[in-house]
């Protein structure tokens, strides 16, 4: 998947819009980068795919394809994960023939099972995404599929944990729209974006422009700041968009850096000095201290001072 300004990306979004409206069935290669299912629904996609492939196979009038046609017809009536598993078994018994790519059909079944929340299929899909990411990096510097593959791999582990606990999620509208997957996407995306040459050059330029700031030690993520300091901003900005690149410049003096934490004065000592120097505040101070320790307050419900 190329960047959002490319012709390929705009074409992808137009095809996705047509798939959402039910005007075309997305291909396996389009589902992996995150295109929604047919009519934005996994079961509708299953029905449409099963109906189209069954009609194509019936025209061949081959007896060895009858079990495969039966599985496809079953999916058009009642789409389910068990039906997809049965379809995979039928596909394994058939060899590639002219006009029919068994490998593409198997890959689509993996997408369906991942959509139903199968952890093994989700892990396999992450491998398919990794291969797409490798091809993308050959032709462009957009690592979008890379962090999607990592997110999918991490999500497969969560699915396995959920199923051991007896929880099964609902079917999504597409691999891109699964909330659990997007929960991992942003952290992986941020980590990968920080490694891009453009981001490194920007950090170096900021350091050259602000040598005084550079002399301060940045706090390493996950490490406790030095005693007497606090990290206000651990990280800010987004190097993948133009607006996000401007934000760190405004906060470069405190971004990820430990700041001195002023010590809180001894309030008890201040109270004693105040009472010693003025008898009237002493009475108010005594009553206020009593109120703060559990006594009554004024009629308004607030302490006297």
pLDDT tens for 232-256 read 666 666 666 666 666 666 767 766 6
SS3 for 175?
Answer: helix
Burial 166-175 (b: 16+ CB within 10 A, else e): eeeeebbbbb
The percentage of the chain sitting over the pLDDT mark of 90, rounded to a whole number, equals 25
**What mean pLDDT comes out for the span 111-139?**
88
Asked whether residue 109 carries a pLDDT value surpassing 60, the answer given is yes
Asked whether residue 60 carries a pLDDT value surpassing 80, the answer given is yes
Do the Cβ atoms of 106 and 90 come closer than 8 Å? no
Which of 137, 157, 181 terminates a domain? The answer is: 181
Based on the fold, state whether residues 151 and 14 are members of the same structural domain. Answer: yes
Q: Which of 136, 228, 146 minimizes the C-alpha distance to 189? A: 146
Based on the fold, state whether residues 172 and 232 are members of the same structural domain. Answer: no
**Range ranked top by mean pLDDT from 52-56, 194-198, 263-267:** 52-56
- In terms of residue numbers, what domain contains 272? 268-292
The set of residues, in sequence order, having a beta carbon less than 8 Å from that of 9 and lying 6+ positions away, is: 1, 2, 3
Based on the fold, state whether residues 14 and 154 are members of the same structural domain. Answer: yes
Based on the fold, state whether residues 23 and 163 are members of the same structural domain. Answer: yes
Which of 260, 281, 300 terminates a domain? The answer is: 260
> What pLDDT sits at residue 177?
42
The percentage of the chain sitting over the pLDDT mark of 70, rounded to a whole number, equals 59
Based on the fold, state whether residues 163 and 21 are members of the same structural domain. Answer: yes
Asked whether residue 191 carries a pLDDT value surpassing 60, the answer given is yes
Do the Cβ atoms of 181 and 151 come closer than 8 Å? yes
Asked whether residue 134 carries a pLDDT value surpassing 60, the answer given is yes
Is 189 among the domain residues?
no
The HSE-up count of residue 297 (CA atoms within 13 Å, CB side) is 9
pTM recorded for the entire structure: 0.59
Asked whether residue 224 carries a pLDDT value surpassing 80, the answer given is no
Q: Which helix (H) or strand (E) holds 231?
A: strand 229-231
Asked whether residue 283 carries a pLDDT value surpassing 80, the answer given is no
Is 188 among the domain residues?
no
Number of domains in the chain: 3
**Residue 258, phi then psi, degrees to nearest 5:** -70, 130
Is 19 among the domain residues?
yes
> What pLDDT sits at residue 203?
53
**DSSP state, residue 226:** P
Higher pLDDT, 49 or 186: 49
Based on the fold, state whether residues 128 and 30 are members of the same structural domain. Answer: yes
DSSP assignment string, 103-150: HHHHHHHHHHHHHTT-HHHHHHHHHHHHHHHHHHHHH-S--HHHHHHH
Based on the fold, state whether residues 245 and 287 are members of the same structural domain. Answer: no
> What pLDDT sits at residue 50?
95
> What pLDDT sits at residue 243?
64
Which of 146, 181, 216 terminates a domain? The answer is: 181
Angle between helices 66-77 and 81-92 (to 10 degrees): 170
SS3 for 229?
Answer: strand
Instruction: Name residue, tokens 């039928």.
Output: 90
SS3 for 260?
Answer: strand
Instruction: For 13-42, write each residue's pLDDT tens digit.
Output: 999 999 999 999 999 989 988 888 999 899
Is 106 among the domain residues?
yes
**Using alpha carbons only, how large is the chain's radius of gyration in Å?**
30
Based on the fold, state whether residues 108 and 138 are members of the same structural domain. Answer: yes
């Amino acid at each position: 998947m190329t960047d959002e300004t490319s012709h390929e990306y705009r074409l992808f979004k137009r095809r996705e819009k047509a798939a959402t409206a039910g005007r075309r069935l997305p291909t396996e290669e389009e589902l992996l980068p995150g295109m929604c299912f047919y009519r934005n629904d996994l079961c509708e996609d299953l029905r449409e795919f099963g109906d189209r492939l069954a009609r194509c196979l019936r025209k061949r009038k081959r007896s060895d394809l009858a079990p495969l046609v039966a599985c496809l017809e079953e999916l058009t009536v009642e789409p389910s994960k068990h039906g997809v598993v049965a379809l995979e078994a039928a596909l394994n018994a058939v060899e590639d023939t002219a006009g029919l790519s068994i490998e593409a059909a198997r890959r689509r079944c993996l997408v369906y099972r991942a959509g139903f929340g199968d952890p093994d299929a989700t892990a396999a899909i992450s491998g398919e995404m990794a291969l797409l990411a490798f091809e993308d990096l050959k032709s462009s510097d957009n690592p979008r599929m890379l962090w999607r593959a990592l997110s999918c791999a991490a999500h497969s582990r969560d699915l396995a944990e959920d199923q051991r606990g007896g929880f099964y999620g609902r079917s999504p509208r597409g691999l891109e729209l699964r909330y659990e997957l997007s929960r991992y996407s942003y952290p992986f995306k941020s980590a990968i974006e920080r490694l891009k040459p453009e981001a490194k050059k920007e950090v170096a330029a900021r350091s050259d422009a602000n040598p005084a700031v550079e002399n301060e030690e940045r706090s390493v993520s996950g490490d406790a700041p030095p005693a007497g300091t606090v990290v206000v901003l651990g990280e800010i900005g987004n190097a993948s968009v133009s607006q996000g690149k401007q934000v760190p410049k405004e906060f470069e003096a405190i971004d990820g850096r430990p700041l001195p934490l002023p010590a809180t004065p001894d309030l008890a000592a201040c109270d004693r000095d105040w009472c010693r120097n003025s008898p009237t505040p002493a009475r108010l101070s005594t009553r206020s201290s009593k109120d703060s320790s559990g006594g009554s307050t004024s009629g308004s419900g607030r302490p006297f001072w």
